[in-house]
Every structure is written in structure tokens, then in C-alpha cells.
Structure 1
Amino acid sequence: MKHDLARPPKAKPGDHIAVLSPSFAAPGAFPEIHEQGLRRLTELTGLVPIEYPTTRQLGATPQARAADLNAAFADPRIRAILAVVGGDDQITVIPHLDAEAARADPKPFLGTSDNTNLHNWLWSHGIASFYGGSSQVHLGPGPAVDDIHASSLRAALLTGETLEITDPGESEDIGLDWADPRALHHFGDREPTEPWSWHGPRRTITGTTWGGCLEVTEQILAAGRFPFPADALDGNVLLLETSEELLPAHNVGRIVRTLGERGLLAAVDAVLVARPPVSDFTHQPSPTERADLRAQQRDTVVETVTRYNPQAVICVGVPFGHTRPQWILPHGGPVTVDGTERRITADYR
């Protein structure tokens, strides 16, 4: 079954972009990071950020957050929507959204982590989006916006070009605490990345993407919010990434196994697995231990995917999701996974 998706038109400099908090209203707790992020957003794109009542409102109800999303979808002056950050309870916002408003005027939506709920909701209603982007994580903190994030941000919002997804050579699991004034000017501790790990047959796949944060995907399936047969993902590219909750490899494997039992792994032709975070403010393994934790998760995911789909092309270590620098990737748009040349390209139209 082919699942057709509308690809929203691009914004242009001078247009308005809604900056919303569909999950955690981090700007209410850390306004300096937020405001620096908005300035950088305008500098990079020429877009004019527009905040809504719950953008800085800590503890806003799901209904109030949904009302802001519905207003942004319905307002013809808004030409794109950016989520400030993820969170934990966006699943409770989804029932209050207005699909007709979103379908009547599709516009690019960018977000990561808990926003997997919104990406799946948009996908279910025939609208493509972009997985990644977070003003509170990737625009506001640090001395500048990372180059790969800036280029994919502009491609998603403005230019619609095709970009090769590359390894920036360094990565951090978590930046400085947003309450620390240094967070405005310094990155977190970065370390060299490992080469991406390729598995499966040496063939080239071009497919439409679906997926996101693995822990949220599990909730989506449990709530019955993937109301399609598995063949809706036939030929697709599955995006898998894990969150700052730092799940052990065996827990990750159980969730991926669930995708297999649901028939989703057998349907897709390729799987992109993000470089996972393995440390946080309180848990700081040594470099050797961090590498081992990433390897454990890699091996578990590859073994599980291969069990259900030995023909899938798998690439592990791609910098999207809960890592920085971060590529924003199409969700519901074409990505080419070249298992022969070991390259990935993304179409941001």
C-alpha cells in the first residue's frame, strides 16, 4: 500500500516561523538560551520567529499546547513550525490536534525526540516533515550553530536542496547545563566519532523515511497510532535513534524486536541508526566504556533488524537525533542509502 505524502512548500526570508513548545516549555526555565536561539534562527534563515502563549509556559495543559499548534497550522502568515525541544508527554497533546487545519495548509515542521509523536501524526495525515531541529539544543547553546545543522536547517526550511549526510568528526552527548551562563558560549565535551558501521547487502536504496526516537515509537505503537498495515512502509528507510534516557542495549533490542513482530522491519529496505548518547550529567563513563556501550547497542540493533530482514541495508552511527552536531533529516521525504559507495544523501524538497 503506497502512502502518499504532501511535501509542504518552503518558506522564504521575511516569512513567519512559529516557535512552539509542544512538550517541555524549556524557554520558560532557560530564557537566555531560548532568546539566543531565536536570534540565530533569524540570522541563519531570515525568518521571523513568532511565539505562542505556551512557548514559555511551564506546565501548560495538553489542550493549551494543542491549541497553539492548531493556531499555527491555521494561520496563513505562519510558513513553518519549529519545536523548541522534546519532552515526555506529547502523546497527550496529539488527540487535541486539528488535522483539517494541517492538511489545508501544510507547512514544514521541525522537531526531534518527543516530537516523534507529531511527525507520526503528520505522516498519518499525509504530510511530510523534518526530523531534527531544536532551538533549545542546537541553536541557542554554544559559541555558534554547527555547520551541518545550519545547512540542513536552511535546506529544510528554505532551499529544498539535496545534501550528502556526512560525519562531522566530533560529537557530544550533552552540552552544558542551560542554567550555567557558560552554556551560551561553550559546547559540551566533544570527542572524535567512530566510522559509521555498514551492514547488509551492498545495494542502493532510495526510500521515504519514517521513524524517530525509539522510546517514543514504542508509545505510538502501544497507543495504536500507527493505524496502517506494515506494507505502508514498503521500500521505506527507517530512522531509529535513542534518547538521553540511556537505555541499556537489551532494552533497545526489545523495542526493535517489537517493530519486527509488527512487520515494520520486514517492510523497509534500509535502516539508519543514529549515534546514541551514552552519558549524561550524572553518568560519565570513561571513553572506553562509552565506545563499548555504543557498540553493544549497535550489535543488538543490527542483529535484530537482520533477523527480521536480512536484505535491509543498515548504517549505524549517523549523527541525527540526540547528538550534536546534528543533521536534520526528512521524515516522509526521500533519502538514498548507498550500501555500495557507503554514502547517504537526503532530498529536502
Structure 2
Amino acid sequence: MTPPSYPPKPSPGDRVAVVSPGAGLPGLFPHPFELGLERLREEYGLEPVEYPTTRKMGTTARERADDLHAAFADPDIRAVFASIGGDDQITVLPYLDRELLRAHPKPFFGMSDNTNMLAYLYNTGVVGYHGGTVMTSLGRSGAMAPPTADSLRAALFTPGPYELRPAARFNDIDRDWADAATFDAEPETVPSTGWTWVNPDRVVEGRSWGGCLEILGWLLMADREVPRDLSVFDGGVLFLETSEDLPSGEEVFRTLRNMGERGLLRRFSALLMGRPKAWSFDRPNTPEEAARYTAGQREAVLLAMRTYAPDTTIVFDVDLGHTDPQLVVPYGGVIRVDGPARRITVTY
């Protein structure tokens, strides 16, 4: 397998596609979507272009694949943004034209259910970007979190290395997207304890792979978009995070255990574990309950890694995935994890 390569970057003034390959939630929650589009225009100088399924719920997998094809094939479109995630993007993958996407490589930004598309692009030979969805990253109430905004700007426009840094504060409590008043003020944040390092005795530099753990579990069950030759991951950097479904520690361990039994975990030399989402509307945890949930997930990860890849360098609570702020991580791009210096540098 040829390592993924970086697609050409857009420039301010360019047109970018906004698609919904997971779910047409912009049609149900226009406030964060419109705010995200406004920030694409005003803060990044890009002109968003919508497609037939972008604001439409209940579309077929083929219709969503058609929008992706149209966005990638259009020479005037210079990048592709997912509006948000969903829960059935895996059904879109069989309708995608790999040769079309390979012939027209473009930066794709998305996370959560968009792990499907990112894994597909990885196997197509195109580096993608985990993060930067319109409704969550760009559509944050009040203002974008500065680490999110800076990371996204660098990923969009600036090739080369970019150092990720721990956020001083973070937010974990969602607000009602149906209420326009939600977007008048920034969310309340709490102090962060930073990153926690395990086996930080080496420097690892390699290509990244991973994403939302639940989606990776689905891909593994469906036997899709996981390379047959696992040696492509040797010496690489695995990055994982969990969603607002708040999977239990047992679920996290079992998924990682199965990845270990497949021989995946031992291939990677470093693991970046995103700060876990610990609050949802279905489970509005108190701070104490959230702390117990986070600790339980960490123990589950440690148990799996001690069993299958005990020497791997691990960094917990990296600000990636379903967290605020949210750092953009290249998918298939190069990440350097410097344990002795406690530094993480990505190449955009």
C-alpha cells in the first residue's frame, strides 16, 4: 500500500463543499450550521457550497455518495467539510468511487461518523483531517475556541509541522441547539489537568490512523476499510476517542481487546487517547460522575494496552474528537510524539 499523500490546500477566496455524508442535521438545527457557514466566510475567507443532501434528513446512501463525488470532482471546489456526523455513514462506503476520489484529492474535514470517510480516504491514498465539522467546531456558541480556530486554520492553509498543546480549559456540557439564545454566549469552561503520559521514554514519528472508537468497531465488524496488510501501521501513531454515546469502560476494553486479538494494537508505537466526552443530554453527569467515567475509561484503555501492547507510548486526554476545544489531527499524515519532551507535533 502506498502511504497516503497530502492533497493540495485551499487558499482564502476559494470555494469549499459542505456535505452531510452522515446525517442532514443542518435541516433540523439551522442555528449552529448557519453560524458555521458564516465563520467559514468571515474568519477563513472561504465560500461554502451546499449540495442536495446537505440539509435533508432521510436521504439514501447513494444520494450522499453522489454529493461526495460531485464535490470532489468539481475543479472549483478546493476542500470538503462535513456538516456533522451521524450513525450510518458506513452504508455510503459501497457506493463511493475510489478512482474518482484518488484522481481528485482534496482535504476532507470531519469526525465522529466521518471516521468512515477518513478511513476510506486513507486506503485511497489521501490524507484527511479529523475535526473541523461545521456545526460543532465552526458553529460553537459565542465564538470558536482559540485552540480549535488556530488548529483548523493551520490545517487548512499551512503545510508543515504544527505543535499541539494541552488546552488550559475545556467544556463538556452541551446546550440546546434548537434555542437561538444558546448561540449568544460562549459555553462555560472548567480547568483542564492537561495530558497524562505513559511510557514517555522515546520519540515516535509515524503516520496516523484511528478516529472514533465506536465507528472503528463497526468498520471492523463489517470488515471494511481496515488494511489487510497490518504492517502498514508499523511504527505509526494510533489516535482514538469516544462519542457522546458514552460507551462504558467495559465496551471500550472489549473493542480494544478485539483490536488486540486482530493484531492491530501492537503495530503502533504510540497511542493518543482523546479527552472522553463525559456528559450528554441522556446522561447529564455531575462533575463527580464525569470524573469517575473518565477514570474508568482510562483504566479500560490501560488494561487493554498492557495486555496487547505494553511498551506503547500513550498520551491521555489529548484535545481531539468529541471535546471542546477540538484540535484537528491529520488522518494518514505524520505525527511526532516526543515523550521525553512531552510534545506532540502534527504535520498538516
TM class by shorter-chain length? over 0.9
Q: Which residue does the alignment assign to 1:239? A: 239
CA distance in 2, matches of 1:213, 1:174: 19
State the AA in 2 paired with 1:107: K
Contact 1:252 1:297 in 2 (8 A): yes
Q: In structure 2, the residue corresponding to 1:164 is in which secondary structure?
A: strand
Letter in 2 for 1:6: S
Q: Is residue 329–residue 346 contact of structure 1 (8 Å, CA) maintained in 2? A: yes
Distance in 2 (CA, whole Å) between partners of 1:310 and 1:264 is: 13
Matched with 1:289 is 289
Partner Cα distance (1:162, 1:328) in 2: 13
Q: Please tell me whether residue 91 in structure 1 is matched to residue 90 in structure 2.
A: yes
Structure 1, residues 113-162: CA drift from partner, whole Å, max 9, x if none? 00000000000111111111111111113111111111111112111242
Structure 1 range deviating more: 149-158 or 87-96: 149-158
Q: Which residue of 1 aligns with 2:154?
A: 155
Alpha-carbon distance in 1 for matches of 2:194, 2:152: 24
Give the deviation of 1:38 after TM superposition.
0.5
Residue 19 of structure 2 corresponds to 20
Distance in structure 2 (CA, Å) of the matches to 1:78 and 1:11: 9
Aligned mates of 1:196, 1:227 — CA distance in 2: 30
4+ residue runs over 3 A deviation = none
Report the secondary structure of 1:251's partner residue: helix
Tell me the distance in 2 between the aligned counterparts of 1:155 and 1:94: 29
Aligned to 1:264: 264
Q: Which residue of 2 aligns with 1:102?
A: 101
The TM-score normalised by the length of structure 1 is 0.96
Distance 2:306 2:337 in 1: 16
Equivalent in the alignment of 1:218: 217
Per-residue CA deviation, residues 228-276 of structure 1 (Å, 9 max, x unaligned), is 2221211110011000000111110100111111111110010000000
2:205 and 2:272 mapped to 1: Cα distance?
A: 12
**2:167 touches 2:194 (CA, 8 Å); kept in 1?**
no
Q: Which residue of 2 aligns with 1:142?
A: 141
Partner of 2:207: 208
1:114, 1:288 → 2: CA distance?
29
Alignment of 1:166-205 (within 5 A): 166-205=165-204
* Corresponding position of 2:29: 30
- How far the C-alpha of 1:201 sits from its partner, in A, is 4.5
Task: Give the conservation status (yes or no) of the 8 Å contact 2:131–2:137.
Answer: no
TM-superposed CA distance for 1:48, in Å, is: 0.8
* 1:54-133 matched pairs, under 5 angstroms: 54-133=53-132
Aligned residues: 347
Q: Work out the CA distance in 1 between the residues paired with 2:48 and 2:200.
A: 45
> Which SS does the other structure have where 1:114 is aligned?
helix
For residues 22 and 177 of structure 1, the distance between their equivalents in structure 2, rounded to whole angstroms, comes to 23
CA distance in 1: counterparts of 2:248 and 2:186, whole angstroms: 26
Greater shift after overlay, 126-135 or 106-115? 126-135
RMSD, aligned α-carbons: 1.3
Give yes or no for the alignment of 1:341 onto 2:333: no
Q: Is the 8 A contact 1:42 1:49 kept in 2?
A: yes
Unaligned runs of 5+ in 2: none
Counterparts of 1:339 and 1:18 in 2: how far apart (Å)?
38
Residue aligned with 1:45, SS: coil
- In 1: Cα distance, 2:188 partner to 2:248 partner: 22
SS of residue matched to 1:138: helix
CA distance in 2, matches of 1:174, 1:288: 14
Contact 1:122–1:128 at 8 Å: present in 2 too?
A: yes
AA of the residue aligned to 1:326: Q
Taking the aligned partners of 2:86 and 2:172, their CA distance within structure 1 comes to 17
- SS of the equivalent of 1:55 reads coil
User: 1:274-302 CA distances to partner (integer Å, 9 max, x unpaired)?
Assistant: 00011112322221221121111112102
Measured after TM superposition, the shift of residue 3 of structure 1 is 4.1
TM-score, structure 2 normalization: 0.97
CA contact under 8 A between 2:204 and 2:269: conserved in structure 1?
Answer: yes
Whether the 8 Å CA contact 1:196–1:317 is kept in 2: the answer is yes
Stretch deviating more after TM superposition (218-227 or 208-217): 218-227
Q: How far apart are the structure 2 equivalents of 1:116 and 1:233?
A: 17
Partner of 1:328: 328
Conserved in 1, the CA contact under 8 Å of 2:172 and 2:279?
A: yes
Partners of 2:5 and 2:333 within 8 A in 1: no
Q: CA deviation at 1:192?
A: 1.7
- Kindly provide the amino acid, as one letter, of the partner of residue 8 in structure 1: P
Query: What amino acid sits opposite 2:157 in the alignment?
Result: L
User: Which ranges in structure 1 are unaligned for 5 or more consecutive residues?
Assistant: none
State whether residues 141 and 186 of structure 1, in contact with CA within 8 Å, keep that contact through their aligned partners in structure 2.
no
Identity of aligned residues (%): 46
Q: Secondary structure at the match of 2:43?
A: helix
